[in-house]
Amino acid sequence: MSIRVIQPGVQTTVQDLGRFGYQQYGVPVAGAMDPRSLKLANILLDNDPGEAALEITIMGPQLEFTEPNYIALTGGDLNAVLDGKPMPRYEAVKVEPGQVLRFLGLKNGCRAYLAFAGGLDIPAVMGSRSTYMKAKIGGYEGRKLEAGDELKFRAPQPDLPFPERRKIGIDFTPQRQYDLRVILGPQDDYFTEAGLETFCREVYTVSAQFDRMGCRLDGTVIEHKNGGDIISDGIAMGAVQVPTAGLPIIMAADRQTTGGYTKIATVISADFRYLGQLKGGDKVHFVPVTIEQAQNSRMLDEAYYKMITDYFDRDRGL
């Protein structure tokens, strides 16, 4: 045992970058809602960027460490304290046996990511350690953590090289309005010109109905030409479904693999960092971009990860 769960929080699950290659069998991808924060937490610890970590939602857990290691916390600010002292975010932090990590309450965002040097000793299921709770697949017994659970480090690194330099600037900062860039389609032709203008112009509010499957928005109705039903087809992360009622739903990590509602657009992958941090009451504005712009944003993200990784590799003489 390396970690003992004293209190589990609202929803704390093991997540990596997802379970790919099984959607044709009806198995959702799952994975981190905010992949960027997951990757940064792992890079800080010399882990593979897609290593499994804890995704902590709204109200965090209380964890006691029983083995020395380094940890890193990224994403939303849930007011973490280690032995009663504020725990730094976006840097490697040493933990010793007997220390307790607590989260005092949400300050901003929605989800935090807690990574562990060397990863967690969690079995991979269909190539992933991600938890898909509806089918009880992966993670810790296919569910969110509960009081009394015990987790083990897979290959702890209590002597991580140059730990004092393993820090980066706070990457996630809350915004009064989140401008989510989207590629229009694949069913944008099912909407009237007025409907498309509404989608691109209006500001929507995240409703109380948001979870790992999707995020319902409140606001101005988007007009279809002849209703919102289609023959079911595949659903990507970030797809914006608009049922006949006219209010958008952004599909998230635990989305179903297919669906029968029109999809007016898809949030680009570079903006999943914001999609994964949305909570009730947040404001959303959709901004159409080209495929080339989306690809450039993805490449900028990858260049950022490489820059940080190269910096830490130089410390290790690699």
Query: What average pLDDT score do residues 227-233 get?
Result: 95
* Helical packing angle, 291-315 and 35-43, nearest 10°: 20
pLDDT attached to residue 1 = 85
User: Does the structure show a pLDDT above 60 at 318?
Assistant: no
User: Percent of the chain beyond pLDDT 70?
Assistant: 99
Beta bridge partners of 7: 62
Query: What average pLDDT score do residues 217-226 get?
Result: 98
User: Does the structure show a pLDDT above 90 at 79?
Assistant: yes
Q: Quick: pLDDT tens for 127-181.
A: 999 999 999 999 999 999 999 999 999 999 999 988 889 999 999 999 999 999 9
In DSSP notation, 197-223 reads HHHHH-EEEEEEEESSSEEEEESSPPP
pLDDT attached to residue 25 = 93
Compute the mean pLDDT over every residue in the chain, rounded to the nearest whole number.
96
Q: Is the peptide bond before 186 cis (omega within 30 degrees of 0)?
A: yes
Name the DSSP class of 73. E
Query: What average pLDDT score do residues 48-70 get?
Result: 98
Domains of the chain: 3-165 (no CATH), 178-295 (2.40.100.10)
Q: Are 281 and 218 in contact (CB under 8 A)?
A: no
pLDDT attached to residue 18 = 98
Cα–chain center distance at 160 = 26
Query: What average pLDDT score do residues 229-253 get?
Result: 97
Q: Are 224 and 212 in contact (CB under 8 A)?
A: no
- How wide is the angle at C-alpha 1 spanned by C-alphas 41 and 90, nearest 5°? 15
pLDDT attached to residue 28 = 95
Residue ranges with strand state E in the chain? 3-7, 11-15, 53-57, 62-65, 69-77, 80-82, 85-86, 92-95, 100-103, 108-116, 150-151, 178-184, 203-210, 214-218, 229-234, 239-242, 249-251, 258-267, 283-288
pLDDT attached to residue 316 = 63
pTM: 0.96
Query: Which strand (E) or helix (H) includes residue 35?
Result: helix 35-43
User: Does the structure show a pLDDT above 80 at 298?
Assistant: yes
- Residue 171's Cβ-count burial label (10 Å; 0-12, 13-18, 19+) is middle
φ, ψ for residue 100 (rounded to 5)?
-125, 130
Query: What average pLDDT score do residues 212-240 get?
Result: 97
User: Does the structure show a pLDDT above 60 at 125?
Assistant: yes
User: Does the structure show a pLDDT above 70 at 315?
Assistant: no
pLDDT attached to residue 144 = 98
User: Does the structure show a pLDDT above 90 at 313?
Assistant: no
User: Does the structure show a pLDDT above 70 at 317?
Assistant: no
Beta bridge partners of 195: none
In DSSP notation, 82-134 reads ETTEEPPSSBEEEE-TT-EEEE----EEEEEEEEETT-B----BTTB---BGG
* Pairwise CA distance, residues 244 & 249, whole Å: 12
Query: What average pLDDT score do residues 17-31 get?
Result: 96
Q: Quick: pLDDT tens for 177-220.
A: 999 999 999 999 999 999 999 999 999 999 999 999 999 999 99
Q: What is the CA radius of gyration of the chain?
A: 20
Among 53-57, 82-86, 158-162, 183-187, the range scoring the smallest mean pLDDT is 158-162
- Residue 243's Cβ-count burial label (10 Å; 0-12, 13-18, 19+) is middle
